[in-house]
Structure 1
């Protein structure tokens, strides 16, 4: 995309929630020091805001916040808080009244949560917003965001009361959380459009979507179409239960389809996968076979028809260019492969093409291959070259 073509597009900012919402899922705990390393990786790929943690929840999160606050130089860092003055106080003590400290306050939205979780009224939840934001301002916070928890199951009248109160008290960002992942794109888009119409243009509207029904990315995109300016996402989509909007998937869509949405995104695509590898190593996250962008097989193929097309021109079966994402194309030889990849293999290893040889290799490396077995093309090329050399020597 040229500079001229991008100039008319609305910029979507990225809020990386990997270190807080992503960490909350079972098995994803991170040390304060490892969070700093991951925060710097997020800053490097271009995250606008890195969520450092929830200082009010533990001493470890408070320490991580202090370390991240000192380490970041270009990105903002965010602290998570319930709409409790005690949480806000802990966040301000950990992160300080820094210009790049975004104090994120989460209010109670749905009647389900008000009744069954909190045991308070709508009016009391609005007062909590006034009190918590008021304390943040009093303690020197200059960047405050307000999120509506369970917004997608909340009465719109109550959402309006919460967000307008938050903005009046000093919030510069409003976040709408589809906390249980229950919304469809139409429902979530309608909610975002309504909130966008209630708040001033200069107030940022942010999405926070969960993937319980596999709709977090679709809902985030619906939010963008409805006027959202920011997306909260995590590397690999890690997070509570089924996870959050996957940052790499969002980046892929907005890089390849941004003009369709009238938006642009500033992310170093080539640095996303290294950051994910660092995350996976940190939390011992097993590799996915079929995940978009980061999956083991995202840019790999074994099927003969696809391999034939890719060898002629990768664009036949690759919409995403693997090299843009720091990945490599992988052709695997297995029981679904065909003769095209064998001819390519012979050419690459400098062995004269012969259909009888191709048939021989097909029987040996493809037809007789056991279920599920396959071999990297590079490994097979080396084996074939070694065998040819050995035959020549005899």
Structure 2
């Protein structure tokens, strides 16, 4: 008797834009050599495509593209370019025209941008894409994508002929950008579903979502559910204004909910945090304490009720497992902690647990704290050992220890 296997999960491609959209935001500039280090770390993470930058924008982006193109061994790389022969020629010079180089040609996707940014008609917007694709093919580019800026505010009467023209000229990827982060998931899913119906199955459909309303990940997931094949992301969500879909947040959803969603990726979650630390060192990034996966408090707690449960079984309050993301569980001692963590620290210190000792330590180091600072359990363990060594009959009350 054979057991029928369920449908195989669909692999979603991960396209990383940390070095382009991420770097072009204020305060995020990197040298070409730093970009290379980040690119190699992202390759180790397992992303499929690494965007090197905008070669025509600066000598630095040109050099970074060349360095990365020469160094990657498993991931492909991409460049972003205007629909302009000069940009395309520079991209070819920087990274070559082989299949490992995904040339992205930026199309103007909305009447707003056509009128106020470009001064073009719809017909001109489509024609420049046709001309640019033909020029790229004449140079020998094997992989060319149509990256539609502000697609989320483009109407079907313009978007559809624009996309169909790009596909007719050989676009193997169509990138649907919610450039201003103006859509909610239902709207973005509807847009992706419509674009999917306009293009052949073998053309990759890619999501590029911004975080202006805090919906970049939600929109990307809605896009996947509607038929997208790829998500463009950045480490820690860095990017223009409020940023982009965070790589680590997409990774955690696919790690824990991928089977439910019917999708998978090649991301190695345990390699994300080292890549993030490298990025922080280069651009001086300090995240909010509460940021998912990368935040200082993502796997830390000081609340007594939570700690009581976690000391018995971490699963009580820990759904995402820190070790899967290269992180550690932290039980911190602060004024919201309880006696359970004090007992735990005493046990870990190898000192007999005496309730009088527990009470003294609780009063000294927990209950009477007047600020929000915490000490680690390791720090408290050392304080316990010192206290017990100095007061063999039990500690007396003293000032709260702050760090």
TM-score, with length taken from structure 1: 0.97
2 CA distance for matches of 1:171 and 1:72? Answer: 24
Aligned counterpart, 1:329: 329
Aligned counterpart, 1:271: 271
1 CA distance for matches of 2:245 and 2:327? Answer: 21
Aligned counterpart, 1:157: 157
Query: Per-residue CA shift, 1:280-320, capped at 9, x if unaligned?
Result: 10001113201000000000001000011111111110110
Task: Tell me, yes or no, if the aligned pair for 1:334 and 1:369 is still in contact at 8 Å.
Answer: yes
SS in structure 2 opposite 1:206? strand
SS in structure 1 opposite 2:292? coil
Aligned counterpart, 1:356: 356
> Alpha-carbon deviation of 1:355?
1.2
2 CA distance for matches of 1:203 and 1:382? Answer: 60
SS in structure 2 opposite 1:255? helix
Cα gap change, 1:226/1:381 in structure 2, threshold over 3 Å: closer, same or farther?
same
Aligned counterpart, 2:231: 231
Aligned counterpart, 2:39: 39
| 1:63-142 mapped onto 2 (5 Å cutoff) | 63-142=63-142
1 CA distance for matches of 2:284 and 2:230? Answer: 29
Cα gap change, 1:314/1:28 in structure 2, threshold over 3 Å: closer, same or farther?
same
> Alpha-carbon deviation of 1:383?
1.9
Task: Tell me, yes or no, if the aligned pair for 1:148 and 1:162 is still in contact at 8 Å.
Answer: no
Task: Tell me, yes or no, if the aligned pair for 1:83 and 1:129 is still in contact at 8 Å.
Answer: yes
| 1:184-333 mapped onto 2 (5 Å cutoff) | 184-333=184-333
Query: Per-residue CA shift, 1:119-161, capped at 9, x if unaligned?
Result: 0001101011111111111111101111111011000121111
Task: Tell me, yes or no, if the aligned pair for 1:51 and 1:78 is still in contact at 8 Å.
Answer: yes
SS in structure 2 opposite 1:56? helix
Structure 1 unmatched ranges of 5 or more: none
Task: Tell me, yes or no, if the aligned pair for 1:336 and 1:366 is still in contact at 8 Å.
Answer: yes
1 CA distance for matches of 2:7 and 2:232? Answer: 24
Structure 2 unmatched ranges of 5 or more: 395-403
> Alpha-carbon deviation of 1:386?
2.6
> Alpha-carbon deviation of 1:387?
2.5
Q: Aligned pair count?
A: 391
Task: Tell me, yes or no, if the aligned pair for 1:6 and 1:264 is still in contact at 8 Å.
Answer: no
Query: Per-residue CA shift, 1:95-124, capped at 9, x if unaligned?
Result: 111220000111001100000000000110
> Which one is further off, 78-87 or 295-304?
78-87
2 CA distance for matches of 1:163 and 1:377? Answer: 58
> Alpha-carbon deviation of 1:350?
1.0
Q: CA RMSD in A?
A: 1.5
